[in-house]
Structure 1
Amino acid sequence: MTTPSFIIELRKKIGHELLWLNGVTGLVEDGHGRILLGQRSDTGQWAMVYGINEPGEQPGDTVVREIKEETGVDAEVTDLVAVVSSSEIITYANGDRTQYMDHSFLCRLKPGGNAEPFVGDDESLKVGWFSRDALPQPLAESTVDRLKIFDEYLRGKAAGDAHALFVTDNQLH
């Protein structure tokens, strides 16, 4: 996984201490109701596109950039679905500790943009479009949890009650 340079510089000063980061998740849907997933190279699990905000970068811009970098797909944000603060502290193999404030976005294909996914960086082994009733396995637990949040949002949107969800820990499981 490529660690952003600003995190490398921070780690020189704070070592493995807990670092609070803003993250993004993108659920990209195509015109056939399929969703874009990638098989992560670090875990082998299938997941939505995730990423970390660069300093000064807007979360919506981050998710579009991450989708392009990881899958080659040109997407655009349609909805802010949820803002979720994780209670889990993640400890990476090198000892670095982080927590995330995730901004989850519903995205669609950008008109006239690339819709054919390809592995765009070292974060994925495979990428592709999948029907919701035929998702590849194993799915990352975070993707399972976030799909529930997206589904709740989409049910509300279909009922005419679309608003971003501000999720509490007890809603995640």
Structure 2
Amino acid sequence: MTTPTFILELREHIGHAPLWLTGVCAYIVDDNGLLLLEQRSDTGKWALVSGIIEPGEQPADTVAREAKEETGVDVIVTDLVSVEADDHVTVYANGDRTQYLDHLFVAEVAPDGCSEPRVADDESLSVGWFDPDELPEPMTASSRERIAAARDFLRRRNDGDARAQFTFRGTTIRR
């Protein structure tokens, strides 16, 4: 995975010490309800499109940027599903340690944008549209959890459920 320049610069000062990062992932659907997934080059597992928020960047803009950079698909963000802190520290092969605050969004293909996925950078081995009931294997556990959360959110939203769909680690925030 390509490490953003700002992280490399921080690592020059803090070495491998734990670094708190904010990230995004997106449940991206097309007009037919198919889900956009990428097969990650670092693990070989299928996952939702995700990435690290750059300094000064809005989280929803990060979703659109990462979708375009990783899959070539143009998207618009429609909903924020959840904001959750990972409860574990990720340790990378080089010794870097991070913990993430992740924003889960729902997005759809932009009306006048590209909808044909392609491997657009070195972070993906493959990309494609999938039926959410027939997910490819192997898949990251975090993506499975986030897919379930997004589908539950969309079901409640589409049912006109007046309860808020936005959650913080089990705590519902009412809209």
TM over 0.5: yes
Instruction: Return the alpha-carbon distance in structure 2 between the equivalents of residues 155 and 166 of structure 1.
Output: 18
1:164 aligns with 2:156: no
Instruction: Return the alpha-carbon distance in structure 2 between the equivalents of residues 2 and 168 of structure 1.
Output: 32
Instruction: Return the alpha-carbon distance in structure 1 between the equivalents of residues 131 and 145 of structure 2.
Output: 18
The offset of 1:158, in angstroms, is: 2.1
- List 4+ stretches of structure 1 deviating above 3 A: none
| Aligned-residue identity in percent | 56
Instruction: Return the alpha-carbon distance in structure 2 between the equivalents of residues 127 and 111 of structure 1.
Output: 20
- Alignment partner, residue 102 of structure 1: 102
- Alignment partner, residue 151 of structure 2: 151
Instruction: Return the alpha-carbon distance in structure 1 between the equivalents of residues 151 and 34 of structure 2.
Output: 14
Residue type at the aligned position of 1:164 = F
- Alignment partner, residue 35 of structure 2: 35
- Structure 2: 5+ residue stretches without partners: none
Q: Which deviates further from its counterpart, 125-134 or 153-162?
A: 153-162
- Alignment partner, residue 67 of structure 1: 67
The TM-score normalised by the length of structure 1 is 0.94
- Alignment partner, residue 85 of structure 1: 85
Q: Deviations over 1:125-173 (max 9, x none)?
A: 000000112211011111011112112211221221353221249xxxx
1:3 aligns with 2:3: yes
Instruction: Return the alpha-carbon distance in structure 2 between the equivalents of residues 45 and 114 of structure 1.
Output: 24
Instruction: Return the alpha-carbon distance in structure 1 between the equivalents of residues 133 and 159 of structure 2.
Output: 22
